[in-house]
Each structure stands twice: as C-alpha cells, then as structure tokens.
Amino acid sequence: MIVMKIMLMTDQCRLRPRPLWARQSVKIMGMGCQAFDEAVAGMVAVTQKMSRMYRAGSFLTWMPEHQNQHFMLSISNRYLTPHHLAKGESPCHIDPTIDPHGYLQQATSYSGVHLEDNQVLYYERIHEDRSVIA
C-alpha cells in the first residue's frame, strides 16, 4: 500500500515564512508481506550497526513507523535546497504540475534552488488494455 502526500503550491501563503520547509512525501506499507518486513528489519539492523561507528549522540538512529502493526516507510524530499548547499549545481525547472502558480519558482530567487536531487518523478504502469495500474 502506498500513500502519497503531494503538496501542490496553490496558495503563496503556504510557503511563508520558510519555503525551504516545503516538501513532498510518500509512505509505503508492507501490509504484512514477509519480504517487506525482512527488508525493513535489515535496514534497522544496518542503522544500528552504523550508529556504533559514531560518537554517542552524533548519529540519528532511524526507526520505521508502524500502523496497524505493519511496518511503514516514510520517505520525503524538500522542494528546494539552500543556496549555500547547492555548490554550483545547475538548477532545474519546477514542474508546473507541482507548482501551478509559480510560487516555488518565485521562492528560488530568495530562498533556495530546485536541483536534480529535489526532483521527484512520477510513473504509472499502463496495462495492455490501456487502463492505469496504480
């Protein structure tokens, strides 16, 4: 089960006071699938092992979310990167599907840049009979 939260920029007030906080996210739930649960358990084990390599308190240990006793992965991405972290990378165009009124694009002039790392591409699988399989 995949739950997507796509924040469309339809109101400029939603960006104030910090456009750098705007993000999009997706949540993926295994619904009890053993392979998914094992993969999540493996990610937890790797994170715990890595945390031992760092000074206490300097590594943020990751833990999966739970809903109805099922593991859930929450993945998010910011729309903009602060200018000082862009390190000369070329900005990308913000898709009008996400920013129909250009509010994020305006925010790039004073707040941050939209880089390739900020882009999220959406795909769908079209069945042979032309129906969409989500």
pLDDT in tens, 15-64: 555 677 788 888 889 888 999 999 999 999 998 898 888 888 888 778 89
pLDDT band at 115 (very low <50, low <70, confident <90, very high): very high
- For the chain, the structural domain boundaries read 23-78, 80-134
How far, CA to CA in Å, does 77 sit from each of 17, 97, 117, 121? 19, 16, 8, 12
Q: What percent of the chain has pLDDT over 70?
A: 81
Distance between CA atoms of 84 and 33, rounded to whole angstroms? 42
Going 13 to 80 to 116 to 43, the CA torsion angle's sign is negative
Q: What angle do CA 102, 104, 107 make, to 5 degrees?
A: 110
List the one residue out of 85, 105, 86 whose CA is nearest residue 95.
105
